[in-house]
Structure 1
Amino acid sequence: MTDLPDKTQQPRLWRSDGWTAQVIKNEDDDGWAVAMTQDGACEPALTGPWTMGRDKKNPKPLDVNAFNTLVKTAREFVRRSEQQLHATLHQSINVAHGTGRVTVCLDITPDDDNPLAVLSAKDDGDELLAQVRVSPAFRLNRASALKWVEDGFAKPV
């Protein structure tokens, strides 16, 4: 990895606060785009349209206000993406069973070679009732959770 300067402020390239904003030619049309890349990442976290300059040919130069707005937007986008991934990999549903409630959880550990998913159930007191390994493609919903609980926590097929 090459050492990057801490701060760069050029019309089409700004680097500061752990982010790089680079204005690039939009390959899809005659316009321009800006790519926001977090330090250490190989791909931009966010790419979006960029404003044309007054000559309607070249891009508007980056400035401190635009860069700060882009950093804020890119950070928020990354945060929401991480939250969405977490929600996809860690799901839980409460179902009524008998005289109490059971919380059924599906926790997926992604892996290119050997992904893993664990289905677990806990009672109202957070005591583990059952835990089984399932396919990462297992669909957790109210019906599948209730069926698993009613079937005595037998491994779903």
Structure 2
Amino acid sequence: MTDSSSATDPDFPADDTAAEAEVIQEARLWRKDGWTARVIKNEDDDGWAVEMIKDGEPEPALVGPWTMGRDKKNPKPLDTSAFNTLVKTASEVLRRHEQQLRALLHKRVSVQTAEGDVDVTLDIVPDEYEPYALVSAIDAFGEQLAQTRVAPNFKLTKARAEAWAEGGFGRIE
């Protein structure tokens, strides 16, 4: 829907948020609640597939086989139950991906110091041009004691964390 008055009407934002909020419920295309399900021809065989795309994402979160209809030629139409199941499955895939990425970018070890227990964390910042990592020391009360910038390939070990603490949280080796 393109209308020249939409640029000034507050009910129709100038960006794509109005299009994203639009609900579509067709046999091969459903769009609702920030998700789009699209039934597509399966490139690997004669069947059909369904792809789930979260609004704003360039790639599908999930692509899987789709059931043939009764005529054994066309795909089964999407329905509310199938769409809800696909949203739940695709959301779980994204959640697991985020957990895996978090595990890759964040490490933590605990060390004993004279002042008490200290958590030493490594947080990798995957900047496209200048990636780096931050090593931080956090006391038992959640207060940051120190932080230093290191190379993104820095390996945080218990021995390195203990050496850093014993050195007074100065320069890290």
What per-residue deviation string (whole Å, max 9, x for no partner) do you get for residues 118-142 of structure 1? Answer: 1011233434333211111112233
Q: Tell me which amino acid in the other structure corresponds to 1:67.
A: F
Percent of aligned pairs with the same amino acid:
59
Q: Look up the match of 1:9.
A: 25
TM-score (norm 1): 0.82
TM-score (norm 2): 0.75
Query: 2-side partners of 1:79 and 1:86: how far apart?
Result: 10
Q: Tell me which amino acid in the other structure corresponds to 1:10.
A: E
| Cα 1:98/1:4, change in 2 over 3 Å | closer
Runs (5+) with no aligned partner, structure 1: none
Moved more, 30-39 or 145-154: 145-154
RMSD: 2.5
CA contact (8 A) 2:20 2:34 kept: no
CA contact (8 A) 1:37 1:46 kept: yes
Question: Within 5 A, what are the aligned runs for 1:27-46?
Answer: 27-46=43-62
Moved more, 40-49 or 143-152: 143-152
Answering whether residue 67 of structure 2 is matched by residue 51 of structure 1, we say: yes
Query: 2-side partners of 1:27 and 1:82: how far apart?
Result: 28
CA contact (8 A) 1:94 1:102 kept: yes
Runs (5+) with no aligned partner, structure 2: 1-14
Q: Secondary structure at the match of 2:53?
A: strand
Query: 2-side partners of 1:18 and 1:107: how far apart?
Result: 30
| Cα 1:17/1:129, change in 2 over 3 Å | closer
**Alignment size in residue pairs:** 157
Deviation of 1:77 (Å): 2.2
Q: Secondary structure at the match of 2:100?
A: helix
What per-residue deviation string (whole Å, max 9, x for no partner) do you get for residues 79-121 of structure 1? Answer: 3323333333333221223463221011222210112211011
2:137 to 106, 112, 121: 121
CA contact (8 A) 2:20 2:55 kept: no
Q: Look up the match of 1:90.
A: 106
Q: Which has the higher contact order (CA 8 A, sep 6+)?
A: 1
The ranges of structure 1 where at least 4 consecutive aligned residues each deviate by more than 4 angstroms after the TM superposition are: none
CA contact (8 A) 2:21 2:34 kept: no
